[in-house]
Amino acid sequence: MARPQRNDDATAAVWSLLSGVCDPEIPVLSILNLGMVRDVRMDGGGLEVVITPTYSGCPALDTIEQDIRAALARGGHGDVRVTTVLSPAWSTDWIDEEGREKLAAYGIAPPQKGGAKRSLFTAAPAIKCPHCGSRDTREVSEFGSTACKALHRCEACREPFDYFKCL
Amino acid sequence: MSRSAARCTGTKAAGAPALFQYCLRLGDNALVLGHRLSEWSSRAPTLEIDIALSNLALDLIGQARMLLSYAGEAEGAGRDEDALAYHRDVLDFRNVLLVEQPNGDFAHTIARHVFYAVCARAMYEALCQSRDTTLAAIAAKAVKEMTYHERYAGEWLVRLGDGTRESRTRAQAAIDRLWPLTGELFETDQVENELSARGIVPDMSGLQPLWRARIEEILARATLARPEECPMLSGGRSGHHGEHLGHLLAELQYLPRAYPGAVW
């Protein structure tokens, strides 16, 4: 999925404001790192920000919408429409390189590209420990503290860590 | 659900009555099963299972929100996801009987989830090809989530079936008791035939062999017996529910009915 254009002059300032809006569950990631912002449109009807939800049941979406309005209001854009589109469906493959590096530095192993394809009765892939870098890690549970995380443990440094669930 | 309904833009809903009915069925399945799983929160056998079941519930309730929102759009009568979830009575719910069954013991919850998730994953996989772009987008997200559900429930059924004498007895009892409710998952009618002829929804009867094969693979690994052929129970999709759904809705709908328009 090609990333949306962000270099057109009229909306460049808006994109820059949006880069300051973070995921409330993972505050090191901006919604741009996540690939949630699909478009920014400016026309006679005002400013429209088009976003797409990540996980179906992610409760952070309403907060993110409010945060977008607040950030843009601080930048002088009072009248903003935030529109949600479902198509094309978001994937963890849309998280950018900067986002992946920030996740690892924050202690969350970033999702493997194309990792959502794993099917029934196949072994969990070896995930690199974000603390010590070892690949000698074990899946504790595919479900963690939020909809987007799985629980893993490193057998080398013995530390538990979160893995960003592939979708 | 949210204070404000999710606003989704997509294709204009053509063929509204059939599409409304279809989205309602899928949405109600997800909502009712999601609520059932949420009943495990704080009561599961271990912390990891508690977290996992709550996550499964969250996925399903998220899917229900998108499907019921779209059902409301297709209906065009101004009902949003909240109106459909909270202000319909038992007779208007269109979920299959399987998903409204009480949680029972952990084996029952897992058996119910294996039956549902294997079906839902195959269904959403096919629905990704829908000519309706909104349904295809909902399916594209849901199919990945249901892959997690199928794997989680499948692996647990194997552990229970191939575990201790006690877990095996309970797992077999759960499979046997819920089996007669699985036929309804693949029933088709006028609504689905019409939509399937237009390339909007998959033909469920065509997915049944795939479901059977996958279930047989899981049961074989779990060393559990597949139940004998028997008459199947149905009626949920036409509003003929068991007594359990009313109790579930009493809890699910209590707050918005007792305090209409409440926000927090």
- Over residues B60-82, the mean pLDDT reads 96
**Is it the case that residue B11 has pLDDT exceeding 50?**
no
Helix B190-197 × helix B16-38 angle, to 10°:
110
Write out the two tokens for B24. Answer: 């309602």
Which residues are A47's β-sheet partners?
Answer: A42, A80
Q: What is the pLDDT of residue A33?
A: 96
B175-207 confidence digits (pLDDT tens) = 999 999 999 999 999 999 999 999 999 999 999
Superfamily for the B14-258 domain? Ferritin, core subunit, four-helix bundle (1.20.1260.10)
Long-range contacts: A73-82, Cβ < 8 Å, 24+?
A74/A17, A75/A13, A75/A14, A75/A17, A77/A14, A77/A17, A77/A47, A79/A46, A79/A47, A80/A46, A80/A47, A80/A48, A80/A49, A81/A45, A81/A46, A81/A47, A81/A48, A81/A49, A82/A48, A82/A49, A82/A51
Selected for mutation to probe chain A from B56, B58, B63, B119 (highest A CB count within 10 Å) is B58
Q: Give the full edge-to-edge strand order of the sheet including B8-9.
A: A37-43, A46-51, A80-85, B8-9
Structure tokens at B196: 């399937």
Nearest chain B residue to A120 by CA distance is B151
Length of chain B (residues):
264
Identify the pLDDT of residue B5.
37
B243: phi then psi, degrees, rounded to nearest 5: -65, -20
- Residue spans of the domains in chain B: they are 14-258
- B136 torsion bin: left (phi>0), alpha (psi -120 to 50), beta (else): alpha
- Average of per-residue pLDDT across B210-225: 98
Confidence grade of residue B110 (pLDDT, cut at 50, 70, 90): very high
Q: What is the pLDDT of residue A57?
A: 81
CB atoms within 10 A of CB A100: 19
pLDDT value of residue A115:
63
Residue B20 structure tokens: 């409304």
Q: Does B35 touch chain A (CB under 8 A)?
A: no
What is the predicted pLDDT for the residue at B122? 97
pTM (2 d.p.):
0.90
pLDDT per residue as tens, chain A (167 positions): 445 656 566 789 999 999 999 999 899 999 999 999 999 998 877 899 999 998 888 888 889 999 999 999 999 888 899 999 988 889 999 999 999 999 999 999 999 877 666 666 777 678 999 999 999 999 988 888 888 889 999 999 999 999 998 88
| pLDDT computed for residue A56 by the predictor | 82
Q: How many CA atoms lie within 13 A of A138 on its CB side?
A: 7
Q: Which residue of B has its CA nearest to A143?
A: B52
- The pLDDT of B222-237, averaged and rounded, is 96
Per-residue pLDDT band for B261 (boundaries 50, 70, 90) equals confident
Q: For residues A99 and A29, is the Cβ–Cβ distance under 8 A?
A: yes
Taking the CA of residue B191 and the nearest CA in chain A, the distance in Å comes to: 24
User: Among A64, A85, A61, A79, which residue's Cα sits nearest to residue A147?
Assistant: A61
- Please state, in angstroms and rounded to a whole number, the distance separating the CA atoms of residues B191 and B21: 7
Residues A75, A93: Cα–Cα separation, whole Å: 30
For residue A84, the cross-strand partners are: A51, B8
Helix B106-127 and helix B204-221, axial crossing angle in degrees, nearest 10: 140
CB contact under 8 A, A121 and B221: yes
Is the distance from CB of B25 to CB of B81 less than 8 angstroms?
no
- All residues of chain A having their beta carbon less than 8 Å from the beta carbon of residue B218 are 120
How many other CB atoms are found less than 10 A from the CB of residue A132? 14
Q: Give the model's pLDDT for residue A118.
A: 64
Furthest CA-CA distance within chain A:
58
Would you say A10 and A42 are in contact if contact means Cβ atoms under 8 Å apart?
A: yes
- B48 contacts A141? CB cut-off 8 A: yes
pLDDT at A119: 62
Q: How confident is the model at residue B65 (pLDDT cuts 50, 70, 90)?
A: very high
pLDDT score recorded for residue A10: 75
* Distance (Å, whole) CA A164 – CA A167: 9
| Least reliable range by pLDDT among A64-68, B7-11, B56-60 | B7-11
Rounded to 5°, the CA angle A93-A99-A101 comes to 110
Q: What is the DSSP string of A140-155?
A: EES--SSTTEEEEEET
Q: What are phi and psi of A109, to 5 degrees?
A: -70, 125
Using CA coordinates, name the residue in chain A closest to B10: A85
Residue B69 CA to residue A53 CA, distance in Å, equals 14
Element (H, E) at A7: none
Find residues 45-104 of chain B whose CB sits inside 8 Å of chain A: 48, 51-52, 54-63, 65-66
What pLDDT band is residue B214 in, cutting at 50, 70 and 90?
A: very high
Indicate the SS3 state at residue A38.
Answer: strand
A158, burial (CB in 10 Å: exposed 0-12, middle 13-18, buried 19+): exposed
Taking the C-alpha atoms of residue B221 and residue B223, their distance in angstroms, rounded to an integer, is 5
Q: What is the mean pLDDT of residues B73-83?
A: 95
Contacts with B9 from chain A: Cβ below 8 Å: 83-85
**Under 8 Å CB-to-CB from B24, ≥6 apart: which residues?**
B67, B68, B71, B84, B94
User: What's the token pair of residue A159?
Assistant: 């530390």
Reported confidence tier of residue B38, pLDDT bands at 50, 70, 90 = very high
